[in-house]
Amino acid sequence: MLKEKIEQANQEAIEKLLKAQPTLIGIGTAEKDIPGMDKKTILHAGPPVKWENMTGPLKGAIIGGLIYEGLAKNEEEAAALAESGEITFDACHHHSAVGPMAGVTTASMPVWIIENKAFGNKAYCTLNEGLGKVLRYGAYSEEVIERLNWMEKTLAPVLKEALELSGPIDLQTMIAQVVQMGDEGHNRNKAGTSLLIRELAPSIVQTSFDNQEKSDVLKFMHGNDHFFLNLTMPAFKSSLDPMEGIPYCTLVYTMARNGTDFGIRVAGLGNRWFNAPAEIIDGLFFPGYTMEDANPDIGDSVITETAGAGGFAMAAAIPIVQFVGGTPQDAMNFTKSMYEITQGESESFKVPVLDFKGTPTGIDIRKVVETGILPIINTGIAHKDAGVGQVGAGLVRPPMKCFEDALEAFAESVGIS
Amino acid sequence: MSKINELFDSELRVINVGLESFSKELKMQKKAVVHVEWKPVAGGNKKLADILNQLS
């Protein structure tokens, strides 16, 4: 009887996930649009974490966020304010939001607004700042704050008006296309960024802004291959959230890291996090950096793997092995092995080299614990010190403890000890 | 010739289950081998295996 209930619940959950229709409907601001957000709340990636337990990149991003908001003038003031208890820190995931790397989201930041048209729920994410010294890797120098101001004052208003002219953009279809163009939606977003520019450019030129501003916006998007990441992430967040709270469901609807801990949430166990110390990423480092420089795994971007993209779709994004390490055969093997721990296959994201088989989707904690196969995650590596930025990219897996603890808690919740 | 000697006279086709080092040894001797990555359920953790038995 119990086994049937679990099978039915998992089937219901996977159907919800596969039916999702994430759609880009506009751009808002965090304070106005994100539920429960205010001037003195700062959202971050991963499960909740206290200031004293945060690592360098997250602390640095919070310092930058407080300076950007005008709540502090410099690093010392910002750190003192962060320690004072006056600022509320909370997980993006508790506010229908996601954020890459540190994931820091503050009140004035513009955010993409995604609606899952199949269920009416929304998800939010900041706009991607680009590479180099950026807030999400913990940088907070003057150039970082200046860029954030330009994004608020120019980038977001131009894109907002362009979206009003173009109308909503169906992200499910767009992501399905980019998976066939060599993206996996996490660490490779070259095709997605290109398609987005192609979609928005005709409307951008029709906005009321001057030509220089329009040109700057297009150049900014063109200069950042990861611009589309901040759309795949909330698209997947909105697709997965309807799974929350389905009784008896053993599928994972959240995986996230805050640089200290890796956390997962299971559909049948509601909002409860199962955390364990985040791992160091095995990957390729940029010249001058080694594993010694790496911060433990950080960011909400693992929402892509949770939804059957990212590392789970690596066989569709074979060139990425030159960025994260390994061989084309490894990429194929990673995707194939993920079918061992998932409930179903995507009906939208198809892998050409696997005869257009759908990507493995819907991680089942039972299968992970039974087989010992952990989800494969394709990710960026942040420097452990605030302000340095990205130092490489690679592959990582969650700690098994998250899944074992979740399984024990699930057993307890259904009366098994 | 006994069956076992016939076997050793023919080309061996080996499937190795479990410990990978055995398959590596054969590969080093240029013998064809397919390695099956097998682990006991839940890595041998009896408590978790018992839970899984009731849940799946």
Of B39, B41, B48, Cβ closest to residue A404 = B48
Q: Which domain holds residue B47?
A: 3-55
Instruction: Note whether residue A6 is domain-resident.
Output: no
Report the number of distinct structural domains present in chain B. Answer: 1
Q: Is the Cβ of A372 closer than 8 Å to some Cβ of chain B?
A: yes
Q: Which domain holds residue A172?
A: 21-233
| Mutation to test the B interface, candidates A369, A374, A413, A417, most B Cβ within 10 Å | A369
- Residues A119-161 have pLDDT tens digits of 999 999 999 999 888 999 999 999 999 999 999 999 999 999 9
Of A366, A400, A408, Cβ closest to residue B56 = A366
Q: Using the beta-carbon criterion (under 8 Å), do A366 and B55 form an inter-chain contact? A: yes
Of B39, B45, B51, Cβ closest to residue A411 = B51
- Residues A192-249 have pLDDT tens digits of 999 999 999 999 999 999 999 999 999 999 999 999 999 999 999 999 999 999 999 9
**What pLDDT shows up at residue A128?**
98
Distance, in angstroms, between A17 CA and closest chain B CA? 22
Distance, in angstroms, between A273 CA and closest chain B CA? 19
Whether A289 and A215 map to the same domain: the answer is no
What is the separation, in whole angstroms, between the first and last Cα of chain B? 48
Report the number of distinct structural domains present in chain A. Answer: 2
Whether A164 and A31 map to the same domain: the answer is yes
Cβ pairs bridging A and B (under 8 Å): 40
Whether A31 and A70 map to the same domain: the answer is yes
| Mutation to test the B interface, candidates A4, A334, A367, A370, most B Cβ within 10 Å | A370
Instruction: Note whether residue A348 is domain-resident.
Output: yes
Q: What is the mean pLDDT of chain A?
A: 96
Residue A217 CB coordination number (10 Å): 25
CB-CB neighbors (< 8 A) of B55 in chain A: 2-3, 6, 250, 366, 407, 410-411, 414, 416
CATH of the domain at A103: 3.90.1710.10
Q: Give the CA dihedral A174, A177, A178, A184, nearest 10 degrees.
A: 100
CATH of the domain at B50: 3.40.50.720
Whether A308 and A179 map to the same domain: the answer is no
> Residue B2: which pLDDT band, with cuts at 50, 70 and 90?
confident
**What pLDDT shows up at residue B1?**
63
Whether A44 and A121 map to the same domain: the answer is yes
Of A175, A196, A194, A200, nearest in space to A186 by CA:
A175
CATH of the domain at A328: 3.90.1700.10
Enter the DSSP assignment of A73.
S
Q: Is the Cβ of A407 closer than 8 Å to some Cβ of chain B?
A: yes
Whether A303 and A163 map to the same domain: the answer is no
Backbone dihedral region for residue A23 (phi beyond 0: left; psi -120 to 50: alpha; all else: beta): beta
Query: How far apart, in whole angstroms, are the C-alpha atoms of residue B43 and residue A410?
Result: 19
